[in-house]
Amino acid sequence: MYTAQIRELIKKVEATRSARLGSDFPRMTPEQREEVLKEYHPDYKEKGFRKLRIGVNQGDKVPLELADVLEVKSRLGNIELDLNKVHYDVDVLIIGGGGAGASAALEAHQKGANVLIATKLRFGDANTMMAQGGIQAADKPEDSPAQHYLDVMGGGHYSNKKELVQALVKDAPDVIKWLNDLGMMFDKEEDGTMVTTHGGGTSRKRMHAAADYTGAEIMRVLRDEVLNREIPVVEFSPAVELILDSDGKAAGAVLYNVETEEYLIAKAKTVIIATGGAGRLHYQGFPTSNHYGATADGLVMGYRAGAELIFADTIQYHPTGAAFPPQIFGSLVTEKVRSLGATPINSEGEQFVFHLETRDVEASAIIRECLGNNKGIETPTGVKCVWLDTPLIEMMHGEGTIEKRLPAMYTMYKKVGIDMRKDPILIYPTLHYQNGGLLIDEHGQTKIENLYVAGEAAGGIHGRNRLMGNSLLDILVYGRRAGTHAGQKSKDVEVKELKLDHVNAYHQSMEENGIQTDETSPMILPHYTHGRE
Amino acid sequence: MSNKEMVDIYILGKKYTVPASLTIMDSMEYAGYQLKRGCGCRAGFCGACATIYRIKGEKELKVSLACQTKVEDGMYLTQIPFFPGDKKIYDINKLEANADTMAQLYPEIYSCIGCNSCTKGCPQDLNVMQYIAYAQRGELEKCAEESFNCVMCGICASRCPAGITHYQVGILARRLNGKYIAPPTEHLHKRVAEIQEGKHDASLKELMSKNTDELKELYNSRDIEK
């Protein structure tokens, strides 16, 4: 519910609305984009980063909070474990039960492999479930994989790994077909044509959706299919360390039952890390749109085992996180709201940025408006933010559009007493995505033999900035690729003696580099107190 | 803290004084819990945090998602982090989209007594009893649409005297609808075939051979669909 004070401020937005309707706000020039990024994007804030002192990426800068979980000891440091007491013995171990893990499981199973999914919370508790806006694929006549490739490379500032982008755009239509064949409900016209929209930085309308429950619908279907195939899933049992064999190849993981507090040994011929992102590390104090379990566990385990990080210093701040009211602070306001025509507006009722710049540019422009130009709105809890003028949507597309195309958003705001059809909403960038991760090749392989990574934990695909709709795509493209390859490969793998030597070596390297700490990682779960004293 | 409005809540019967502005989930953390069960996306999508509560002095038991509901003074609450619902195993490729499929897999839907407890409990405001009625009649498209916003939290099933696991009926209907009832997409099949035939290899290969400056030029001058 808006306060009387905020209601007063809304009048300025209303006063300019009809004049703004239908007028095209100019896109930034390449120079303007570079300037706003340098001055206002959090990635350019030197104080938010430090150089790693140990490991493969020694000397590379990463966010402070990530360094804090990378440069500490293993949870297994002081624990006696008998690695010969194997609790699970499988062909393919998949760590993580989101979209990447589920799709990897289905493909590995298809290859005839004996698969186990181990996940920290429930199966399906993942960022996939929360992805709203859509999934990109160049499947329309006026579009092409090449056009998609160009958009991805430009959005990523040409830093992306080419072969990873090629695989992404080439597999995309088949991913949509695969989902459709599994029974996913896409938004379609009566003749079967996909309803598609733009996302920030797209040159063609290739965003496919299932209302604004796109990720939820994908996750529900994949989860149901994994259960139908009777692939075993062990919940509330995150991996806390990888196990390598005496040849230094990935050979399983130590799982931790968070309820009984027991450690369990999972032996496997191939291992796929599909643990997702790191939003719950709250880089630079930002709120996050991420799932409760997004604590970079996969990056920590992979890094300790010697896998390389790439673009770990590039974080995606989603331009539109909810800034008000406090109950939904940091929650995602899907980019689809802007795809459908809502635009950012400052305290004076003026639009100040084209509404569909790439996410990094759009977020930086909003930060500039608040901190640089001082034209933000201040909420009763002291949060600076700007308007997102949602009533424009129904003025452009007709009454009922919001309930039909944005039901999750509509419900979220209705529950807090705000009617986004009639009133604009308050937004500010929220920590959304890690653009980088553990470096993979086009089969999802790392340089550690038999270790794969898929989904948000993987890096290289999006370069330094990901476009909307390419994450739901990449988790499935690379989940399927990793699952297929790991399933096939597991047939030829003979696991040698299980070892945790890499953990000891990591600890020794910490000592040699003067890092003294009793802290351990992975974090597994965040600890919130909400200002409790 | 002192200027904040505080309320008394009872987590599993134990009293805590918490800020009135918090959600149930946040209030549990404020009280000192580190949540393991009963916490997922924290944004109303995943259904992990089904919660049952009663306000002191009132008779009615209410259900909600902890991440989406503000605390109230005198709230007695407990979570339902897991519900032993019944999911049937099936091969989606071997089913037909009709009432017989429903009757075979979930015959208990025909035991519905029309009490409407499922609908009253739904935190997503879905008309659950209505979508079960559609399932009974084999109107699977309607069942799919009506159940579309379901987060599968299990509250409906927890309240059902007929032992129906509504949310599993919903997803079966949605998958049958997406696979068999929704119209096929011609442009999708065409593009997938083109890619398999290698028709897009050359154009991709050419782009991959470009250096950054050439790519920049192409990107900055690309035409953008209106």
Q: What is the pLDDT of residue B2?
A: 46
Q: Do B187 and A530 touch (CB under 8 A)?
A: no
Nearest-angstrom CA–CA distance, B63 and B120 = 9
- 3 state SS of A353: coil
A142/B contact by beta carbon, under 8 A: yes
Q: What is the pLDDT of residue A481?
A: 98
Q: How far is the alpha carbon of A376 from chain B, nearest alpha carbon, in Å?
A: 24
**DSSP label at residue B70:** B
Beta strand pairing call for A384-388 and A344-345 = antiparallel
**pLDDT tens, B169-211?**
999 999 999 999 999 999 999 999 999 999 999 999 999 999 9
Query: Does B110 share its domain with B163?
Result: yes
Query: Does B143 share its domain with B193?
Result: no
Q: Do A150 and B21 touch (CB under 8 A)?
A: no
Q: Do A204 and B225 touch (CB under 8 A)?
A: yes
Beta strand pairing call for A49-51 and A61-63 = antiparallel
**pLDDT tens, B97-119?**
999 999 999 999 999 999 999 99
Q: How far is the alpha carbon of B97 from chain A, nearest alpha carbon, in Å?
A: 11
Q: How far is the alpha carbon of A245 from chain B, nearest alpha carbon, in Å?
A: 32
**Domains: count for chain B:** 3
Q: How far is the alpha carbon of B57 from chain A, nearest alpha carbon, in Å?
A: 24
Q: What is the pLDDT of residue A128?
A: 97
Q: Do B179 and A182 touch (CB under 8 A)?
A: yes
- Cβ contacts (< 8 Å) between B182 and chain A: which residues? 185-186, 188, 192
**pLDDT tens, B8-45?**
999 999 999 999 989 999 999 999 999 999 999 998 88
Confirm whether B196 is domain-assigned. yes
Domain assignment of residue B46, given as a range:
3-79
Least Cα distance to B185 among A296, A188, A2 occurs for A188
Confirm whether B45 is domain-assigned. yes
Query: Does B171 share its domain with B102?
Result: yes
- Cβ contacts (< 8 Å) between B33 and chain A: which residues? none
Instruction: Taking the CA atoms of A237, A241, A242 and A245 in sequence, report the sign of the dihedral they define.
Output: negative
Chain centroid to CA A261: 28
Catalytic residue IDs of A: 318, 338
Query: Does B104 share its domain with B172?
Result: yes
On the question of pLDDT at B3 being above 80, the answer is: no
Say if residue A325 is preceded by a cis peptide, omega within 30 of 0. yes
CATH of the domain at B26: 3.10.20.30
Query: Does B165 share its domain with B207?
Result: no
Q: What is the pLDDT of residue B12?
A: 96
> What ipTM was predicted for this assembly?
0.97
- Cβ contacts (< 8 Å) between A328 and chain B: which residues? 43
Confirm whether B226 is domain-assigned. no
Nearest-angstrom CA–CA distance, A357 and B80 = 42
pLDDT < 50 stretches in chain A: none
- 3 state SS of A420: coil
From A177, A293, A331, residue closest to B188, measured CB to CB: A177
**pLDDT tens, A252-275?**
999 999 999 999 999 999 999 999
Mutate to test the interface with A, among B22, B23, B46, B212 (most CBs of A within 10 A): B46
Query: Does B115 share its domain with B52?
Result: no
Q: Do A292 and B70 touch (CB under 8 A)?
A: no
Query: Does B157 share its domain with B200?
Result: no
Query: Does B24 share its domain with B72?
Result: yes
b vs e for B59-93, b when ≥16 Cβ sit within 10 Å of the residue's Cβ? eeebbbbbbbbbbbeebbbebbbebebeeeebebe
Q: Whole-model pTM above 0.80?
A: yes
- Cβ contacts (< 8 Å) between B46 and chain A: which residues? 122, 124-125, 129-130, 216, 291
End residue of a domain, out of B28, B47, B79: B79
Nearest-angstrom CA–CA distance, B46 and A81 = 35
DSSP assignment of A103-133: HHHHHHHHTT--EEEE-SSSTT-SHHHH--S
**pLDDT tens, A100-148?**
999 999 999 999 999 999 999 999 999 999 998 899 999 999 999 999 9
In terms of C-beta density within 10 A (0-12 exposed, 13-18 middle, 19 or more buried), how is residue A93 classed? buried
Confirm whether B14 is domain-assigned. yes
Chain centroid to CA A304: 22
Query: Does B138 share its domain with B111?
Result: yes
Beta strand pairing call for A498-499 and B6-11 = unpaired
On the question of pLDDT at B135 being above 50, the answer is: yes
Q: Do A528 and B195 touch (CB under 8 A)?
A: no
Query: Does B74 share its domain with B109?
Result: no
Q: Do B179 and A177 touch (CB under 8 A)?
A: no
Q: Which two tokens stand for residue A521?
A: 């990682």
End residue of a domain, out of B25, B54, B79: B79
Confirm whether B225 is domain-assigned. no
From A125, A173, A225, residue closest to B41, measured CB to CB: A125
- Cβ contacts (< 8 Å) between B215 and chain A: which residues? 150, 153-154, 158
Query: Does B104 share its domain with B141?
Result: yes
Cα distances (angstroms) measured from residue B40 to each of A41, A124, A130, A481? 29, 9, 10, 27
Least Cα distance to A344 among A326, A327, A356, A328 occurs for A356
On the question of pLDDT at B120 being above 60, the answer is: yes
Q: Do A158 and B204 touch (CB under 8 A)?
A: no
Say if residue B161 is preceded by a cis peptide, omega within 30 of 0. no
Cα distances (angstroms) measured from residue B100 to each of A299, A427, B39, B65, B94? 48, 48, 37, 34, 13
Q: Do A150 and B191 touch (CB under 8 A)?
A: no
Confirm whether B86 is domain-assigned. no
Q: Do B41 and A225 touch (CB under 8 A)?
A: no
Residue type, B205: K
A222/B contact by beta carbon, under 8 A: no
From B26, B68, B90, residue closest to A415, measured CB to CB: B68
Count helices and strands in chain A by DSSP H and E runs: 16, 23
On the question of pLDDT at B1 being above 60, the answer is: no
Q: How far is the alpha carbon of B23 from chain A, nearest alpha carbon, in Å?
A: 6
A257/B contact by beta carbon, under 8 A: no
- Asked if residues A210 and A406 have their Cβ atoms less than 8 Å apart, the reply is no
Confirm whether B87 is domain-assigned. no
Confirm whether B107 is domain-assigned. yes
Query: Does B142 share its domain with B61?
Result: no
